[in-house]
Amino acid sequence: MTNLDREENHAGYWKSSWPVECGGNRRQKSADGNLNARTKSAQVLSKKSDRWNVMAVERDKGEWYLGGTMPAFTGPPPFGWVQKIDLSTLEPIAESDKLPCGEHVWCGAILVHSNGSVMSINGSYLHRLSPIDLSVEAELELPIDRAHNGLLALSDGSLITKDLRIEDEGRTTITRICPESLEVLDQFSLPEGSMGRIAADIVTRSDGSSTEYVYVPGISKVWRLVVEADSMTIDDWQPIYRSGNSDHGLAWDSCISGESCWIMDCGDIQSVRAIHTTEPNGRFVTEETKDKVRRLSWRSPAPWRGAQRLIQINLNDQNKFRSIEPFGTPGGGIIAPPVYVPELSMAVAWDSINGGLAGISSAGENLEIMWHLDVRPTMQPLVFPESNELVINDFVDNSDDLIVVDIQSGELIDRVSTGSSLANGMFLSPTGDGGVIYCTTTTVSVIKWV
């Protein structure tokens, strides 16, 4: 079994440098070009709002769409939204109507499909939007009335998503959808719950045959589904990353890179548990749920004793399994997945609750810590392999800064204030001209190194 190290967009997406979260289905978060933050100065444009900004994706060159929801944990019902934005001002060129979400409060996703439409998933609803004025072209109320986590296009153009369930919250349902009519093509019930977003990969063999896989991080296993023309089946590859009554939490998304699946556990922190044990998810509007609002900080102590782990699982042999605790501090916790840079044989992991960022080499027999940095990241990073630059946030003194780090040495190259006082696990996107789009609750920013 072989697969390319670098992410490649396939026929399901618009021909764009960043049509979907993390840049592609493998979630490598790898961008072409560089920032050259050592020799340039950062310029910051920020915009404040009452919105939960989740991610930005690109259609044609310089044509950017921003998607998100409302942080309406109490009060008036939430809704999803998408804007086509001008990066020079961050003002909307076009904006969707309020998109129903089943009243679930959770970060959904947007993507630009090969048919030209902008797809938006939020809560228990999926919408196909016109790329011109973001009017609704089709709407689907998903069969499962829970918050859905992530949206990808498969190579045949079909869309795939899943509901989010933590431990003891039932089995996760994975849904495959026609991109034109938004008709449900297939539903698959996973044998256990799943919290992290799905990843996908197309594997081409030496004889020219290929198979498309979908990776789903579960409660105890990482599950791999085989994509068929009209169905999905469970593959024999189903490694156990977490035992019952574990001292570690659940995994977020996986990064498929370097012939391995990379995950970090310890993700179902107190705020995540509070959101997803409430119906609708994240709505604290009754006397019984109001006390949960006070537990929505990702800084709350972890509900387990274990230290944060980085885990590597070989894609060809589930028994080839390596893990490391880069920090060793009890009660570790994160709200975003790791990244692995195959060009450098380096993974980057962190501990959001206790603090710490680490570079880990996979070149030897064992995973080896190469450097530590005393920062507190929370979000999905961005990698520029050409210049060895990693961009991630550092939340310190109620200010969420972006930092640029040398992936090989761990040197802190630059620090930039985003203008935000709130940090979460949202997404960064590369502008393609030496800049980065930053998203979080109440703030969206563009940082350019010029």
pLDDT of 288 strictly over 80:
no
Instruction: Note the pLDDT of residue 152.
Output: 98
Instruction: Note the pLDDT of residue 2.
Output: 41
Token couple for 270: 């107190």
When divided into structural domains, the chain yields a total of 1
Domain membership of residue 268 (yes or no) is yes
Count of other CB atoms within 10 angstroms of residue 180: 13
Domain membership of residue 5 (yes or no) is no
Domain membership of residue 12 (yes or no) is no
Burial, 35: exposed, middle or buried (Cβ in 10 Å; 0-12, 13-18, 19+)? buried
pLDDT (mean) for 81-104 = 98
Burial, 428: exposed, middle or buried (Cβ in 10 Å; 0-12, 13-18, 19+)? buried
Per-chain mean pLDDT for the chain: 94
249 touches 269 (CB < 8 A): yes
Domain membership of residue 14 (yes or no) is no
* CATH code of the domain in which 98 resides: 2.140.10.10
Domain membership of residue 320 (yes or no) is yes
Share of the chain above pLDDT 90, in %: 89
Strands 92-95 and 109-112: unpaired
pTM of the model as a whole? 0.95
29 touches 18 (CB < 8 A): no
Which H/E stretch holds residue 272? helix 270-276
Domain membership of residue 374 (yes or no) is yes
Instruction: Note the pLDDT of residue 400.
Output: 96
Give me the domain span that covers residue 114.
21-449
pLDDT of 158 strictly over 70:
yes
Instruction: Note the pLDDT of residue 299.
Output: 83
Tell me the residue type at 130. Answer: S
CA distance linking residue 381 with residue 379, whole number of Å: 6
Domain membership of residue 353 (yes or no) is yes
Domain membership of residue 2 (yes or no) is no
Band (pLDDT 50/70/90 cuts) for residue 190 is: very high
Token couple for 443: 């703030």
